[in-house]
Amino acid sequence: MIEKVEVSIRRMPGAEDLPLPRYMTGQAAGMDLMAAVGEEVTILPGEREMIPTGVAVALPEGYEAEIRPRSGLAARHGVTLVNSPGTIDADYRGEVRLILINHGQAPFVVRRGDRVAQMVVHRVCRVIWAVSEALSPTKRGEGGFGYTR
C-alpha cells in the first residue's frame, strides 16, 4: 500500500488556468510539473533558462520534494535540469522554479502548460554522526568509481 500525505499547494497569481502537478499513471512515482511561462521561451543549444511552475508547496516537516528531469525531453531534445535532482525543503514557501538546460542541437521552445519536470515527495531523516577511527569492513571496501565493471 502506498502511503498518502496531504500537502498544501498554492497557485501563484496568473497560474490559475494551469493544472496542479499530477501523476500521469496509476503507479507513477513523480508528478508532472507544468511550465507557467507567460509567453514562449526559446532555449538555444547550450543555454539555460529559469522556468516558473506557477505553484508553491508547504511540505510537512520530515518530507522533501525532489525535482527531476522528464526522460522524454532528455531523450528527444537533450533538455534536462541543471541541478538534478533539485530539492524543495519543507520550510521553503516560494514558487517552484526549474533551471532547464538545452544540451540538444536545436533550439527548444517551452510553451505555457508544457510538462517540463517531475516532482517526487519523500520522507527524510536526520543523521546523527558517530565519529569512528575505523569503519566496518565490506567486500567492496574502498572500491569507488568503476568498481563494479
Domain definitions of the chain by residue range: 8-123
pLDDT digits (tens, 9 = 90+) for 35-89: 999 999 999 999 999 999 999 999 999 999 999 999 999 999 999 999 999 999 9
Written as one letter, the residue type at 137 is: P
CA angle 20, 85, 7 (to 5 degrees): 35
Burial class (CB in 10 A: 0-12, 13-18, 19+), 85: middle
DSSP 27: T
pLDDT of residue 131: 97
pTM comes to 0.88
Measure the CA–CA gap between 64 and 42, rounded to whole angstroms: 30
CATH superfamily of domain region 8-123: Deoxyuridine triphosphatase (dUTPase) (2.70.40.10)
Using pLDDT thresholds of 50, 70 and 90, give the confidence band for residue 143: confident
* pLDDT surpassing 90 at residue 3: no
Q: Are 118 and 33 in contact (CB under 8 A)?
A: yes
Q: Which are the contacts of 65, defined by CB distance < 8 A and separation ≥ 6?
A: 57, 59, 87, 88, 96, 119, 120, 121, 122
Q: Alpha helix (H) ranges present in the chain?
A: 71-77
Which backbone phi and psi does 15 adopt, to 5 degrees? -115, 15
Q: What is the dihedral of CA 146, 68, 41, 89, to 10 degrees?
A: -120
Longest dimension (CA), the chain: 58
Using pLDDT thresholds of 50, 70 and 90, give the confidence band for residue 132: very high
pLDDT of residue 103: 97
Q: Are 8 and 65 in contact (CB under 8 A)?
A: no
Q: Are 15 and 80 in contact (CB under 8 A)?
A: no
